Amino acid sequence: MIRTRGLTHLALPVRDLDRAAAFYAQVFGAVEAYRGPGFVQLQTPGSWDALVFEEDPSASPPGDAFHFGFRLLDPVDLDAAALLVQRAGGEVLERGEFVPGEPYLFARDPEGYRVEIWFELPTPVDPAPA
C-alpha cells in the first residue's frame, strides 16, 4: 500500500468559471490557488483538497447519482451551510439524518452539480487531530 493524503481533488467541467469559483468561495471559503487559460483551481483553507473547474461551454453535469461531499467539523453548522448555499445561488434539495447524530443536506450548485454537506461521527480510521 502507498501512503497518500487521500482523495484530494476533483476536476469538473463547467460553463462559467467565475460563477463556479464564486459559489465555492462563498459557501466553503475556497480560495483560488491557480488560474490558467480555461481553468481555475480552488483549495479550501486548512485542507489538502482542491476543486479544479475546466471551462466547457457545452458542459452539463451528470445525473443525480453523481455527487461529491464536504464533511462538517460540527453538526450545528448544517443550518448555516444551507443558508450559504442559497445565498450563493445554489438550491437545497434534501435534508435529513443518515443515522442519529449524522445530519446531512444535498444541494445543487449553480452549475447543476449535486453537493453533499454532512457530519459524520468519528471512525476508527480518521486521522489524528492536528
Q: What is the CATH number of the domain that holds 84?
A: 3.10.180.10
Range of the domain at 91: 9-118
Three-state SS at 111? coil
CA distance 38 to 67: 23
How many alpha carbons lie under 13 Å from residue 58 in its C-beta half-sphere?
A: 0
Q: Is residue 88 part of a domain?
A: yes
Whether 105 is in a domain gets the answer: yes
Give a yes or no: residue 124 inside a domain.
Answer: no
pLDDT for the residue 119: 95
Asked whether residue 84 is domain-assigned, the answer is yes
pLDDT band at 130 (very low <50, low <70, confident <90, very high): low
Asked, for residue 29, whether it belongs to a domain, the answer is yes
Q: Closest Cα to residue 73, out of 44, 50, 93? A: 44
The upper half-sphere exposure of residue 93, i.e. CA atoms within 13 Å in the direction of its Cβ, equals 14
Q: pLDDT tens digits for 83-118?
A: 999 999 999 999 999 999 999 999 999 999 999 999
**How much of the chain is in helix, strand and coil states, percent to nearest 5?**
20, 35, 45
Residue 34 DSSP SS3: strand
Mean pLDDT of the chain: 93
In percent, the amount of the chain with pLDDT more than 90 equals 79
For residue 7, name the pLDDT band (cuts at 50, 70, 90): confident
pLDDT of residue 40: 98
Q: Is residue 18 part of a domain?
A: yes
Query: Is position 113 within any domain?
Result: yes
- Give the count of domains, the chain: 1
Does residue 64 lie in a domain region? yes
The pLDDT value recorded for residue 125 is: 87
For range 46-55, the mean pLDDT: 93
Average pLDDT over residues 5-33: 94
Q: How large is the average pLDDT for residues 2-23? A: 92
